Amino acid sequence: MPLPFDLAEATRYLSSADEKLATLIAETAQFHTDADAAQSPYEALMESIAYQSISGKAAATIFARIKTLSGNGRPPSPEQMLKLRTSTLRKAGLSGAKVLAMKDLARKTIDGIVPTRDQAEKMSDAELVERLDSVRGIGAWTVEMFLIFNLGRPDVLPIHDLGVKKGWSVTYGKKHMPKPKELLAFGERWRPYRTVASWYMWRAFERAGYATTNKIRPPKVKMIRRRKRAVILIKRRKSK
Protein backbone atom coordinates (compact mmCIF):
# COMPACT_ATOMS: atom_id res chain seq x y z
CA MET A 1 0.00 0.00 0.00
CA PRO A 2 1.48 3.40 -1.00
CA LEU A 3 1.93 5.93 1.80
CA PRO A 4 -0.61 8.77 1.84
CA PHE A 5 2.25 11.28 2.28
CA ASP A 6 5.62 12.05 0.70
CA LEU A 7 8.21 10.04 2.65
CA ALA A 8 11.19 11.77 1.04
CA GLU A 9 9.79 15.16 2.05
CA ALA A 10 9.06 13.86 5.57
CA THR A 11 12.60 12.61 6.15
CA ARG A 12 14.10 15.80 4.69
CA TYR A 13 11.94 17.92 6.95
CA LEU A 14 12.72 15.90 10.09
CA SER A 15 16.45 15.81 9.33
CA SER A 16 16.56 19.59 8.99
CA ALA A 17 14.47 20.14 12.12
CA ASP A 18 16.32 17.72 14.44
CA GLU A 19 20.04 16.94 14.25
CA LYS A 20 19.87 13.84 16.46
CA LEU A 21 16.97 12.45 14.47
CA ALA A 22 18.83 13.20 11.23
CA THR A 23 21.67 10.92 12.37
CA LEU A 24 19.22 8.18 13.33
CA ILE A 25 17.46 8.40 9.95
CA ALA A 26 20.77 8.21 8.11
CA GLU A 27 21.97 5.17 10.07
CA THR A 28 18.82 2.99 10.04
CA ALA A 29 16.42 1.44 7.56
CA GLN A 30 13.90 3.45 5.59
CA PHE A 31 10.53 4.06 7.21
CA HIS A 32 7.79 1.57 6.32
CA THR A 33 4.60 0.31 7.97
CA ASP A 34 3.44 -2.64 5.81
CA ALA A 35 -0.11 -1.28 6.00
CA ASP A 36 -2.74 -3.70 4.69
CA ALA A 37 -5.22 -1.80 2.52
CA ALA A 38 -7.50 -4.85 2.36
CA GLN A 39 -7.89 -5.01 6.14
CA SER A 40 -10.99 -3.28 7.49
CA PRO A 41 -10.91 -1.26 10.74
CA TYR A 42 -12.95 -4.05 12.35
CA GLU A 43 -10.38 -6.68 11.36
CA ALA A 44 -7.41 -4.52 12.31
CA LEU A 45 -8.85 -3.77 15.75
CA MET A 46 -9.77 -7.41 16.32
CA GLU A 47 -6.15 -8.32 15.64
CA SER A 48 -4.98 -5.55 18.00
CA ILE A 49 -7.17 -6.95 20.78
CA ALA A 50 -5.70 -10.43 20.23
CA TYR A 51 -2.18 -9.00 20.55
CA GLN A 52 -2.77 -7.05 23.76
CA SER A 53 -0.54 -7.90 26.76
CA ILE A 54 0.97 -11.13 25.36
CA SER A 55 3.97 -12.00 23.20
CA GLY A 56 3.71 -11.53 19.46
CA LYS A 57 4.30 -15.24 18.82
CA ALA A 58 1.52 -16.33 21.18
CA ALA A 59 -0.85 -13.71 19.78
CA ALA A 60 -0.18 -14.79 16.19
CA THR A 61 -1.02 -18.39 17.12
CA ILE A 62 -4.26 -17.36 18.84
CA PHE A 63 -5.33 -15.03 16.04
CA ALA A 64 -4.69 -17.78 13.48
CA ARG A 65 -7.05 -20.05 15.45
CA ILE A 66 -9.70 -17.33 15.52
CA LYS A 67 -9.48 -16.90 11.74
CA THR A 68 -10.14 -20.61 11.23
CA LEU A 69 -13.52 -20.13 12.94
CA SER A 70 -14.82 -18.09 10.01
CA GLY A 71 -14.27 -20.85 7.47
CA ASN A 72 -12.81 -18.49 4.85
CA GLY A 73 -9.34 -17.71 6.22
CA ARG A 74 -10.28 -14.19 7.32
CA PRO A 75 -11.33 -13.09 10.81
CA PRO A 76 -14.96 -13.92 11.69
CA SER A 77 -17.38 -11.26 10.44
CA PRO A 78 -19.17 -9.16 13.09
CA GLU A 79 -22.25 -11.34 12.67
CA GLN A 80 -20.21 -14.53 13.03
CA MET A 81 -18.36 -13.16 16.07
CA LEU A 82 -21.63 -12.48 17.90
CA LYS A 83 -22.81 -16.04 17.22
CA LEU A 84 -19.58 -17.69 18.41
CA ARG A 85 -19.81 -19.14 21.90
CA THR A 86 -17.59 -17.76 24.61
CA SER A 87 -16.31 -21.28 25.30
CA THR A 88 -15.22 -21.62 21.65
CA LEU A 89 -13.29 -18.35 21.75
CA ARG A 90 -11.75 -19.19 25.12
CA LYS A 91 -10.63 -22.56 23.70
CA ALA A 92 -8.89 -20.64 20.88
CA GLY A 93 -6.82 -18.91 23.56
CA LEU A 94 -8.62 -15.63 24.25
CA SER A 95 -9.03 -14.34 27.79
CA GLY A 96 -12.51 -13.55 29.06
CA ALA A 97 -11.81 -9.83 28.76
CA LYS A 98 -10.71 -10.20 25.12
CA VAL A 99 -13.84 -12.19 24.27
CA LEU A 100 -15.99 -9.36 25.66
CA ALA A 101 -13.91 -6.79 23.79
CA MET A 102 -14.21 -8.62 20.45
CA LYS A 103 -17.96 -9.04 20.83
CA ASP A 104 -18.37 -5.35 21.69
CA LEU A 105 -16.27 -4.51 18.64
CA ALA A 106 -18.58 -6.65 16.50
CA ARG A 107 -21.72 -4.98 17.89
CA LYS A 108 -20.36 -1.49 17.36
CA THR A 109 -19.28 -2.37 13.83
CA ILE A 110 -22.82 -3.54 13.01
CA ASP A 111 -24.20 -0.37 14.65
CA GLY A 112 -21.92 1.79 12.50
CA ILE A 113 -19.85 3.20 15.36
CA VAL A 114 -16.76 1.45 14.02
CA PRO A 115 -16.41 2.87 10.50
CA THR A 116 -15.74 1.08 7.25
CA ARG A 117 -12.34 1.49 5.59
CA ASP A 118 -13.67 4.13 3.19
CA GLN A 119 -15.33 6.06 6.03
CA ALA A 120 -12.19 5.89 8.20
CA GLU A 121 -10.00 7.32 5.45
CA LYS A 122 -12.24 10.40 5.30
CA MET A 123 -12.29 10.96 9.08
CA SER A 124 -9.81 13.00 11.09
CA ASP A 125 -7.52 11.42 13.67
CA ALA A 126 -9.53 13.05 16.47
CA GLU A 127 -12.82 11.71 15.12
CA LEU A 128 -11.44 8.20 14.89
CA VAL A 129 -10.01 8.33 18.41
CA GLU A 130 -13.40 9.44 19.76
CA ARG A 131 -15.29 6.73 17.88
CA LEU A 132 -12.96 3.81 18.47
CA ASP A 133 -12.16 4.66 22.09
CA SER A 134 -15.79 3.81 22.90
CA VAL A 135 -15.16 0.14 22.09
CA ARG A 136 -14.48 -2.07 25.07
CA GLY A 137 -10.78 -2.89 25.36
CA ILE A 138 -9.75 -0.26 22.81
CA GLY A 139 -7.75 2.61 24.31
CA ALA A 140 -5.85 5.54 22.88
CA TRP A 141 -2.70 3.46 22.23
CA THR A 142 -4.59 0.86 20.18
CA VAL A 143 -6.23 3.59 18.11
CA GLU A 144 -2.84 5.23 17.56
CA MET A 145 -1.41 1.95 16.28
CA PHE A 146 -4.41 1.65 13.95
CA LEU A 147 -3.84 5.17 12.63
CA ILE A 148 -0.14 4.46 12.02
CA PHE A 149 -0.10 0.89 10.76
CA ASN A 150 -3.51 0.54 9.12
CA LEU A 151 -4.27 4.01 7.74
CA GLY A 152 -0.71 5.30 7.39
CA ARG A 153 -1.49 8.64 9.03
CA PRO A 154 1.63 10.87 9.06
CA ASP A 155 1.27 12.83 12.29
CA VAL A 156 0.65 10.44 15.19
CA LEU A 157 2.79 10.55 18.34
CA PRO A 158 2.13 7.68 20.83
CA ILE A 159 3.23 9.53 23.98
CA HIS A 160 2.47 6.56 26.26
CA ASP A 161 4.29 3.94 24.19
CA LEU A 162 7.21 2.43 26.10
CA GLY A 163 9.33 1.84 23.00
CA VAL A 164 8.89 5.41 21.78
CA LYS A 165 9.72 6.83 25.21
CA LYS A 166 12.81 4.68 25.69
CA GLY A 167 13.89 5.26 22.10
CA TRP A 168 13.68 9.00 22.78
CA SER A 169 15.85 8.58 25.89
CA VAL A 170 18.47 6.64 23.89
CA THR A 171 18.45 9.12 20.99
CA TYR A 172 18.82 12.20 23.17
CA GLY A 173 21.13 10.71 25.81
CA LYS A 174 18.71 10.80 28.73
CA LYS A 175 18.84 8.52 31.76
CA HIS A 176 15.11 8.89 32.37
CA MET A 177 12.08 8.35 30.18
CA PRO A 178 10.14 11.52 29.34
CA LYS A 179 6.76 12.23 30.88
CA PRO A 180 3.95 12.05 28.29
CA LYS A 181 3.48 15.83 28.40
CA GLU A 182 7.22 16.35 27.98
CA LEU A 183 7.32 14.05 24.95
CA LEU A 184 4.27 15.76 23.48
CA ALA A 185 5.91 19.18 23.81
CA PHE A 186 9.22 17.92 22.42
CA GLY A 187 7.43 16.32 19.48
CA GLU A 188 6.13 19.65 18.24
CA ARG A 189 9.38 20.02 16.30
CA TRP A 190 8.48 16.86 14.37
CA ARG A 191 5.00 18.00 13.32
CA PRO A 192 3.48 17.25 10.75
CA TYR A 193 5.48 14.01 10.51
CA ARG A 194 5.39 12.74 14.08
CA THR A 195 4.52 9.21 12.89
CA VAL A 196 7.82 8.97 11.04
CA ALA A 197 9.75 10.34 14.03
CA SER A 198 7.99 7.84 16.34
CA TRP A 199 8.90 4.99 14.00
CA TYR A 200 12.56 5.99 14.28
CA MET A 201 12.27 6.13 18.08
CA TRP A 202 11.20 2.47 17.92
CA ARG A 203 14.25 1.73 15.78
CA ALA A 204 16.49 3.50 18.31
CA PHE A 205 14.98 1.37 21.08
CA GLU A 206 15.60 -1.83 19.10
CA ARG A 207 19.16 -0.89 18.14
CA ALA A 208 20.12 -0.07 21.73
CA GLY A 209 19.10 -3.53 22.99
CA TYR A 210 17.62 -4.52 26.32
CA ALA A 211 20.92 -4.34 28.21
CA THR A 212 20.88 -0.58 27.60
CA THR A 213 17.16 0.19 27.59
CA ASN A 214 16.50 -1.70 30.84
CA LYS A 215 18.74 0.84 32.60
CA ILE A 216 16.54 3.77 31.55
CA ARG A 217 14.64 4.98 34.58
CA PRO A 218 11.01 6.08 34.88
CA PRO A 219 10.24 9.79 34.47
CA LYS A 220 11.65 12.07 37.13
CA VAL A 221 9.38 12.99 40.03
CA LYS A 222 9.85 16.50 41.34
CA MET A 223 11.32 16.71 44.84
CA ILE A 224 8.43 18.96 45.94
CA ARG A 225 5.98 16.14 45.31
CA ARG A 226 8.18 13.69 47.18
CA ARG A 227 8.39 16.04 50.16
CA LYS A 228 4.62 16.54 50.16
CA ARG A 229 4.10 12.78 50.17
CA ALA A 230 6.59 12.39 53.02
CA VAL A 231 4.81 15.09 55.07
CA ILE A 232 1.43 13.41 54.45
CA LEU A 233 2.80 10.03 55.56
CA ILE A 234 4.29 11.55 58.75
CA LYS A 235 0.96 13.27 59.57
CA ARG A 236 -0.93 10.04 59.04
CA ARG A 237 1.41 8.14 61.35
CA LYS A 238 1.08 10.79 64.07
CA SER A 239 -2.72 10.78 63.84
CA LYS A 240 -2.89 7.00 64.46
Catalogue the active-site residues. 161
Instruction: Give the integer Cα–Cα distance in Å for 197 and 52.
Output: 24
- State how far the Cα of 109 lies from the Cα of 135, in Å rounded to an integer: 10
SS3 assignment, position 217: strand
Neighbour count for residue 61 (Cβ, 10 Å): 14
Q: What is the distance in angstroms between the CA of the first residue and the CA of the last residue of the chain?
A: 65
Nearest Cα residue to 163 out of 121, 216, 87: 216
219 and 182 Cβ atoms separated by less than 8 Å: yes
